[in-house]
């Protein structure tokens, strides 16, 4: 019965994820007539740089404006590609430089600067790629005058050449001193990040001079201002449809939800206020939210929204469908990952921890169950409830016992402090478990000899502040399973060191990256998520069965009272990640546009079908009286009119 309930609930989630109805976003926007003051302010504050920076709301609407008028699309596509080029890895830039140069021959323009109808091709990939860039400045890049290029665009640019009307021919004819050096550099394998700056500057000035002011008077700009207004709204529980529970935590549960106005699926972490108050957990709830607000890494879970309802705190995250690594380990017949797969996961987790450490945050709870896979198969660190910000100069001050038994570092167990290297210890345990399928065994330490072992499954509180006890480390690396080679054994041996200041990683994550265990890892490509994943999850709901997730026991907390003083503190909990919301709005607008095109195609198809049959009906000889066939055509005509 539980399996049936779980399956039915999972099917509902999958249907909501795949067969999305067109979002109702446009109905939620503030009428333009109420935004006159904001329109003027936005016109004054919007720079051309913002309009050409990819994956931003301003660029999205500007591109729709350009596409609608079929003018300047080639110029905009080129500028967007420039931003991606400047912020890609060197390896990727080499390939992109050749691609961009070739694309200039196919990015077609007409004699007046309008697109000539040749299919456009973007070099940026899908919208999910995050580009943290300041964009291409209309006046930025290399000094145009110093390159021998006219500082100002001529009033009338002749873009017609005998080679055809392409962006390349436009540049060759009007700005050869800017274009020729780039062409030579690419042919010689050049890929410096600033090699296109002068060319980009020329193209940007042309596009700004011809389109910026008219865009500010367009319907697309009006919608942009309405979307900016929408970004300022505070989220509520009423914005979401709820589906099945995915898991359970210390203070509540995680549920699958769908935002109504954008149709996007999310995971919602719900924490009951009464449970939090009874367990004095408010500081941990607030700490988790604050840490999540700071993080900006593809290897750490992004917080989209945070808000409270009458009974709960809510954290909204992207729903990652690949399940956690504990689930994936259990799915393997061997119970462990092959060496290459384990190394790939370890590298991505290492990058996530490095990002947290750059924010002076120690994670403290690394284990397979807390590492999620996205739909592409990349690792994402989740559940930052125990993460804590430390003073790097005085790590011994943070002595709180926190983590999961079997994974915790000796200094945390002994109450001697929390260091960045405390995470590298748990990282070592995580990697050991990944390749062998089990945690390191207990070291057979003796209480009589006052020895203790960090891998004991039992609680370690009795060892707190016992300075005369000895932490004993004696880890076995089985040779018969083929999981441990010399590099991995040496790597883990330097991590499993009792003294946190002598442990590998004491001088930063670079120490781990440079170890021979990662000798074949390209860290630049790994950071850009350009390394092929070793495993792609199936599209399914990888979560615990509904029967195994116990519901909230309200009777247990009926004596806990949440008063006005509490609610005053809770009001500060609301948060919106506006960058991620902007991306969500762009996806929703794409869906609305696609739905409109599909409806238009359906109407066109019905009209064509009707008129074709109508012509046949007219040509066919008819008997006297009313033809039933003609009656059918009239019915279809009414249906067509209703749809049109």
Catalytic residue numbers?
365
Q: Which two tokens stand for residue 406?
A: 């079997």
Contact 186, 103 (CB under 8 A): no
d(CA 487, CA 484): 8
State the DSSP string of 170-202. HHHHH-HHHHHHHHHHHHTT---TTTTHHHHHH
Q: Which two tokens stand for residue 340?
A: 């290459």
Contact 451, 477 (CB under 8 A): no
Q: What is the 3-state secondary structure (H, E, C) of 212-224?
A: HHHHCCCHHHHHH
H/E stretch holding 587 reads helix 578-619
Contact 130, 55 (CB under 8 A): yes
- What's the N-to-C CA distance of the chain in angstroms? 48
Contact 118, 73 (CB under 8 A): no
The vertex-589 CA angle with 588 and 592, nearest 5°, equals 90
β-strands 312-318, 265-272: how paired? antiparallel
H and E: helices and strands count for the chain = 23, 12
Query: Which residue is associated with the tokens 């936005």?
Result: 42
- Rg of the chain over Cα atoms, rounded to whole angstroms, equals 30
Q: What is the 3-state secondary structure (H, E, C) of 505-517?
A: CCCCCHHHHCCHH
425-429 long-range contacts (CB < 8 A, ≥24 apart) are: 425/454, 425/495, 425/496, 425/500, 425/503, 426/363, 426/364, 426/365, 426/366, 426/367, 427/346, 427/349, 427/350, 427/353, 427/366, 427/495, 427/512, 428/491, 428/492, 428/495, 428/496, 429/366, 429/367, 429/455
d(CA 456, CA 442): 5
d(CA 334, CA 512): 27
For 19-70, where are the alpha helices, taking DSSP H only? 25-28, 36-45, 48-51, 57-69
d(CA 420, CA 400): 15
Phi-psi region of 632 (alpha: psi -120 to 50; beta: other; left: phi over 0): alpha
- Residue 314 in 3-state DSSP? strand
State the DSSP string of 226-273. HHHHHHTPPP-GGGEEEEEEEEE-SSEEEEEEEETTT--EEEEEEEEH
H/E stretch holding 452 reads strand 451-452
H/E stretch holding 589 reads helix 578-619
Q: Which two tokens stand for residue 83?
A: 């931003």
Beta-strand runs (E) in 261-397: 265-272, 303-308, 312-318, 361-362, 371-373, 379-381, 388-389
State the DSSP string of 118-165. PPP--SS--TTS--------TT-SS-TGGGT--SS--SS-----TT-S
């Amino acid at each position: 019965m539980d399996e049936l309930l779980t399956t039915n609930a999972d099917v509902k989630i999958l249907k909501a994820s795949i067969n999305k109805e067109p979002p109702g976003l446009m109905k939620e926007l503030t009428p333009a007539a109420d935004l006159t003051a904001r329109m003027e302010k936005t016109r004054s504050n919007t720079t051309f740089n913002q309009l050409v920076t990819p994956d931003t709301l301003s660029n999205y609407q500007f591109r729709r404006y350009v596409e609608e008028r079929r003018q300047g699309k080639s110029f905009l596509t080129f500028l967007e590609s420039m931003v991606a080029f400047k912020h890609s890895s060197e390896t990727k830039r080499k390939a992109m430089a050749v691609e961009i140069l070739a694309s200039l021959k196919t990015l077609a323009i007409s004699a007046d600067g309008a697109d000539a109808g040749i299919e456009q091709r973007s070099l940026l990939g899908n919208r999910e790629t995050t580009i943290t860039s300041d964009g291409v400045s209309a006046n930025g890049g290399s000094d145009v005058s110093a390159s021998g290029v006219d500082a100002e665009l001529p009033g009338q640019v002749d873009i017609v050449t005998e080679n055809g009307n392409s962006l390349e021919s436009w540049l060759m004819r009007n700005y050869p001193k800017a274009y020729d050096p780039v062409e030579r550099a690419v042919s010689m394998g050049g890929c410096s990040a600033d090699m296109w700056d002068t060319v980009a500057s020329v193209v940007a000035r042309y596009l700004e001079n011809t389109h910026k002011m008219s865009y500010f008077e367009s319907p697309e700009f009006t919608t942009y201002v309405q979307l900016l207004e929408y970004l300022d709204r505070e989220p509520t529980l009423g914005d979401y449809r709820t589906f099945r529970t995915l898991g359970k935590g210390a203070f509540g549960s995680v549920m699958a939800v769908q935002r109504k106005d954008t149709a996007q699926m999310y995971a919602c972490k719900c924490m009951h206020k009464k449970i939090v108050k009874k367990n004095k957990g408010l500081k941990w709830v607030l700490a988790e939210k604050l840490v999540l607000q700071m993080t900006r890494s593809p290897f750490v879970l992004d917080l989209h929204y945070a808000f409270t309802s009458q009974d709960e705190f809510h954290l909204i995250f992207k729903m990652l469908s690949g399940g956690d690594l504990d689930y994936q380990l259990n799915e393997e017949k061997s119970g462990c990952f092959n060496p290459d797969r384990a190394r790939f996961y370890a590298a991505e987790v290492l990058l996530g921890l490095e990002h947290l450490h750059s924010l002076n945050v120690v994670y403290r709870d690394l284990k397979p169950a807390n590492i999620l896979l996205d739909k592409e198969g990349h690792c994402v660190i989740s559940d930052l409830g125990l993460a804590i910000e430390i003073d790097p100069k005085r790590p011994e001050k943070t002595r709180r016992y926190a983590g999961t038994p079997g994974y915790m570092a000796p200094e945390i167990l002994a109450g001697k402090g929390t260091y960045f290297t405390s995470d590298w210890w748990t990282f070592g345990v995580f990697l050991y478990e990944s390749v062998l399928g089990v945690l390191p065994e207990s070291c057979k330490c003796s209480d009589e000899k006052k020895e203790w072992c960090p891998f004991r499954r039992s609680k370690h509180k009795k060892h707190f502040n016992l300075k005369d006890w000895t932490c004993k480390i004696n880890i076995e690396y089985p040779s018969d399973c083929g999981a441990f080679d010399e590099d991995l054994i040496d790597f883990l041996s330097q991590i499993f060191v009792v003294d946190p200041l002598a442990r590998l990683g004491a001088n930063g994550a670079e120490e781990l990256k440079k170890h021979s265990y990662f000798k074949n890892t390209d860290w630049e490509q790994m950071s850009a998520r350009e390394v092929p994943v070793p495993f792609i999850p199936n599209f399914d709901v990888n979560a615990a069965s509904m029967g195994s997730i116990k519901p909230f026991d309200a009777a247990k907390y009926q004596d806990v009272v949440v008063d006005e003083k509490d609610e005053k503190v809770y009001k500060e909990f609301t948060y919106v990640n506006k960058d991620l919301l902007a991306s969500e709005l762009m996806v929703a607008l794409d869906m609305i546009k696609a739905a409109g095109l599909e409806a238009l195609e359906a109407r066109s198809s019905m009209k064509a079908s009707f008129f074709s049959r109508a012509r046949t009906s007219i040509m066919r000889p008819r008997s006297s009286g009313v033809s039933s066939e003609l009656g059918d055509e009239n019915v279809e005509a009414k249906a067509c009119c209703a749809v049109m």
